[in-house]
Amino acid sequence: MVHNRINKLLVVGLGLIGGSVALAARRAGFAAEYLGVDLAQDERQGALTLGVVDRASESLAELVPEADLLVLAVPVLAMQPVLQAIKPLLKPTAVITDVGSCKAVVLDAATAVFGQLPPRFVLGHPIAGAEKSGVLAARVELFERRKVILTPAPDNDPQALELVRQLWTACGAEVLEMDVTQHDQVLARTSHLPHLLAFSLVDTLARRDERLDIFRYAAGGFRDFTRVAASDPVMWRDIFLANRDATLDALDEFLNGVQRLKSAVESRDAEALVSIFTRAKSARDYFTALLNETGYQTMQNKRINFVTQPGGGPVAGQIRVPGDKSISHRSIMLGALATGITRVKGFLEGEDALATLQTFRDLGVLIEGPHNGEVTIHGVGIKGLKQPQGPLYLGNSGTSMRLLAGILAAQSFDTELTGDASLSKRPMGRVADPLRLMGAEIETAEGGRPPLKIKGGQKLKGITYDLPMASAQVKSCLLLAGLWAEGETRVTEPAPTRDHTERMLQGFGYPVFKQGATAAVQGGGELTACDIDIPADISSATFFMVAAAISPGSDLTLEHVGINPTRDGVINILRLMGADLTLSNQREVGGEPVADIRVRYAPLKGIDIPEDQVPLAIDEFPALFIAAACAEGTTRLRGAEELRVKESDRIQVMADGLLALGVDCTVVDDGIDIQGKGNETNVFGSASLQCHHDHRIAMSFAVAGLRASGSITIEDCATVNTSFPGFAELARSVGLKLDAISG
């Protein structure tokens, strides 16, 4: 809604917050005139001198009758007398809001004065401030990119609410809504408690050393921890008195936490200490990512576009891409369930694998790292998982959700699995249905979509199951559930799919019976910790294989790539198309075959992709479509309907992008025909494309930039972080002209 400039904005209380509201509103041209009331002569004078307000008075009676919007910026305990005083003076159309840090006390004050909250009084709280106070500290940018919480009541007038929203938006803030109780509980923990602790620590130290000598030796830690102890004592006295109950609850929780630490130190319980610190560190790292907006969850709100420029290539160098995603997930899962300590090297620090890692921390497992790809998992044994505090959020990661469903279906406690918008659309019936056959109790949302609500305490029994689709995730889910099931769980797949679960179970000393297309486990065994060296992910290497294969003059070596025969479809398909790929230094690392892959440019030709290669290259097709567009003749893909239920409908989204870039293609239900333009220097034109938050689509079109006549923009690429952090930098280092631009 477009804001209609109001006539007069009155700030009652010309301090830091009140003054900053007036300055920011004035900069945005929110009102025609700005008025201020304050009892203190110097605040009024300061406000006039700084141009915060046009007129100032000590008398509410003088200015309230003129005001269209009143911002009450007085201490929370002064709210009731102020409301009492303004009540007879208000214009009937006037809208009121406040900036108090506690909302129940303001609601109570308004109810006491007016009999109920007036419909045109919208309670609010800007989460901004500084240790300084007074109007001289006011800053026009104080609320920029800060949050303002409104706590509207059901019978608040919608127009009044809208006006208050517009005020804060005009000040540059992001406006959120929650109810009064939740606001006070949240703020007690995130703001009031830290202030109380900072005041307390400084006071405790100051009492011990009245000359304050100790502060001479205090370095950064003390400074960071206690900055807020320099805040206004009277204001904070009022806040603790006003939000007494919620603060006491938060303080009790905190005291329990301190007591736990004290006991751990007393009893020299090193494991408990590292467990508490690790959990805290991971929470703080997450918070840092939120603050710096580097995590995918915040990036969803932030736009990262990939922009390619023509003239990139040849692609040359020797690189190692990040660790295998599938193996990274499984290393955490099996490491957590094993007895003993599992040390992992080469772990993928992408958001999907980190979602699995965080989940196992939530399930009570102590996990150190990741630090430079190293993770140490203190396994809790097959019966050691603990009930998490709340729903387990798996972000964009289908592998986490499907494999965890198998593990959690067998636990004694209830769990709920949720995900982001893309994951929430993906089919989970494929795991829920066979798990139910095993005796699990699982509720899904409509159409078998997430969230999954899994009931604990169910006795599972082994089943014999023919997978209706070639899916390693479904196979793995059932084999993992089979660890707790009575008898044997036997799964037969219609075509070979990645077998990392089977290999890794064996690596952890758990027997897996394999016969042809069938894998089976017997329930009731144990896993023993082991060390895992994760190879580079062939799915991530694919973008660079294709880049070198389509860019004349290229010569690129990819080191230490996993070439498990259930994942090597991309090598076979590229070779069939005429690509020059050589494998060297082949060896086995921790039960997985690895090699260095050298790719030199050679002209490609279109092929009919053998259907038996489809499950072996299932994640590589978006990039292979780019290779097909650069090949001479038509490439035909069939039997690939699974591509339609990945992070996006990869057949349709790729076809849309190819067509926009001037490459002819025809979509069928289970595949696509792509008319290659191999003999043309510029295969692709210039366009702005959507990747539908699909990491692999984003990276594939980034590679297409090597053979494009103009610039290609791929919008909303933040999800690349789920599987390939650092992709754009690595791509640039080998010759791609690619920028990741945040918007």
Of the pair 418, 476, the CB lying nearest ligand S3P is at 476
Count of residues that bind ligand S3P according to CB under 6 A? 10
**619 interacts with ligand S3P by CB under 6 A:** yes
In the three-class reduction of DSSP (H, G, I as helix; E, B as strand; rest coil), residue 557 is classed as strand
Of the pair 619, 673, the CB lying nearest ligand S3P is at 619
Instruction: By CB under 6 A, name the one of 247, 471, 542, 613 that touches ligand S3P.
Output: 471
Of the pair 111, 424, the CB lying nearest ligand S3P is at 424
Q: Is 638 marked as binding a ligand?
A: no
Alpha carbon 39 to its chain's center:
47
Smallest gap, in angstroms, from Cβ of residue 342 to ligand S3P? 18
What letter would DSSP give residue 558? E
**326 interacts with ligand S3P by CB under 6 A:** yes
**191 interacts with ligand S3P by CB under 6 A:** no
Of the pair 493, 596, the CB lying nearest ligand S3P is at 493
Window 413-452: contact mask with ligand S3P (x via CB under 6 A): ----------------------------------------
Instruction: By CB under 6 A, name the one of 473, 557, 648, 700 that touches ligand S3P.
Output: 473
Instruction: By CB under 6 A, name the one of 8, 378, 498, 600 that touches ligand S3P.
Output: 498
Sign of CA dihedral 43, 45, 50, 52: positive
Q: Is 688 marked as binding a ligand?
A: no
Closest to 710 in 3D by CA, of 691, 689, 687, 686: 686
Q: What distance in Å separates the CA atoms of residue 694 and residue 521, rounded to the nearest whole number? A: 34
Whole-number CA gyration radius for the chain: 31
Q: Which residues contact 287 (CB under 8 A, 6 or more apart)?
A: none
Q: Is 231 marked as binding a ligand?
A: no
Q: What angle do CA 154, 155, 158 make, to 5 degrees?
A: 95
Q: Which residues contact 622 (CB under 8 A, 6 or more apart)?
A: 650, 654, 694, 696, 697, 699, 700
In the structure encoding, which two tokens stand for residue 565, read together? 């025969």
Smallest gap, in angstroms, from Cβ of residue 642 to ligand S3P? 6
CB 587 within 8 A of CB 559: no
Q: What distance in Å separates the CA atoms of residue 50 and residue 43, rounded to the nearest whole number? A: 10
Instruction: By CB under 6 A, name the one of 472, 558, 607, 661 that touches ligand S3P.
Output: 472
- Give catalytic residues, as residue numbers: 619
Alpha-carbon separation of residue 743 from 62, 170, 294, 600 (angstroms): 47, 20, 13, 36
Q: Is 398 marked as binding a ligand?
A: yes
Smallest gap, in angstroms, from Cβ of residue 326 to ligand S3P? 3
Which residues on neighbouring strands pair with residue 305, listed in sequence order?
741
Of the pair 238, 537, the CB lying nearest ligand S3P is at 537
Closest to 627 in 3D by CA, of 650, 583, 658, 659: 658
Sign of CA dihedral 294, 295, 297, 303: positive
Residues 635-654 that bind ligand S3P (CB under 6 A): 642
Q: Which residues contact 217 (CB under 8 A, 6 or more apart)?
A: none
Q: Is 147 marked as binding a ligand?
A: no
Smallest gap, in angstroms, from Cβ of residue 594 to ligand S3P? 17
Smallest gap, in angstroms, from Cβ of residue 431 to ligand S3P? 10
Instruction: By CB under 6 A, name the one of 226, 243, 356, 476 that touches ligand S3P.
Output: 476
The 3-state secondary structure of 273-329 reads HHHHHHHHHHHHHHHHHHHHCCCHHHHCCCCEEEEECCCCCCCEEEECCCECHHHHH
Question: For ligand S3P, which stretch binds (CB under 6 A), given 56-64, 467-475, 486-494, 660-668?
Answer: 467-475
Q: Which residues contact 247 (CB under 8 A, 6 or more apart)?
A: 188, 192, 193, 196, 240
449-455/488-492 β-pairing: unpaired
In the structure encoding, which two tokens stand for residue 723, read together? 């599987």
Window 271-310: contact mask with ligand S3P (x via CB under 6 A): ----------------------------------------
Window 22-61: contact mask with ligand S3P (x via CB under 6 A): ----------------------------------------
Smallest gap, in angstroms, from Cβ of residue 615 to ligand S3P? 7
Smallest gap, in angstroms, from Cβ of residue 259 to ligand S3P? 42
Q: What angle do CA 24, 26, 27 make, to 5 degrees?
A: 65
Q: Is 636 marked as binding a ligand?
A: no
Smallest gap, in angstroms, from Cβ of residue 350 to ligand S3P? 12
Residues in the chain: 743
**399 interacts with ligand S3P by CB under 6 A:** yes
**722 interacts with ligand S3P by CB under 6 A:** no
Of the pair 366, 472, the CB lying nearest ligand S3P is at 472
In the structure encoding, which two tokens stand for residue 52, read together? 């915060």
Smallest gap, in angstroms, from Cβ of residue 468 to ligand S3P? 12
Question: For ligand S3P, which stretch binds (CB under 6 A), given 14-22, 27-35, 174-182, 472-480?
Answer: 472-480
Question: For ligand S3P, which stretch binds (CB under 6 A), given 180-188, 213-221, 382-390, 471-479?
Answer: 471-479
Question: For ligand S3P, which stretch binds (CB under 6 A), given 107-115, 130-138, 297-305, 466-474?
Answer: 466-474
Q: Is 619 marked as binding a ligand?
A: yes
Of the pair 642, 673, the CB lying nearest ligand S3P is at 642
Question: For ligand S3P, which stretch binds (CB under 6 A), given 309-317, 470-478, 529-537, 590-598?
Answer: 470-478
Closest to 674 in 3D by CA, of 691, 644, 654, 692: 654
Smallest gap, in angstroms, from Cβ of residue 179 to ligand S3P? 40
Smallest gap, in angstroms, from Cβ of residue 473 to ligand S3P? 3
Quick count: other Cβ atoms within 10 Å of Cβ 461? Answer: 15
Q: Is 260 marked as binding a ligand?
A: no
Each residue of 697-723: b (16+ CB within 10 Å) or e? bbbbbbbbbbbbeeebbbbbbbbbbbb
Of the pair 138, 348, the CB lying nearest ligand S3P is at 348
CB 426 within 8 A of CB 449: yes
Q: Which residues contact 730 (CB under 8 A, 6 or more apart)?
A: 319, 321, 544
Of the pair 185, 471, the CB lying nearest ligand S3P is at 471
The 3-state secondary structure of 455-497 reads ECCCCCECCEEECCCCCHHHHHHHHHHHCCCECEEEEECCCCC
Of the pair 444, 471, the CB lying nearest ligand S3P is at 471
Q: Is 325 marked as binding a ligand?
A: yes
Of the pair 428, 618, the CB lying nearest ligand S3P is at 618
Q: Which segments are annotated as binding site for 3-phosphoshikimate? A: 325-326, 330, 471, 473, 619, 646
Binding site for ligand S3P (CB under 6 A): 326, 399, 471-473, 476, 498, 618-619, 642
**Binding site feature residues:** 325-326, 330, 398, 426, 471, 473, 619, 646, 650, 696
**Binding site for phosphoenolpyruvate: what residues are annotated?**
325, 398, 426, 473, 650, 696
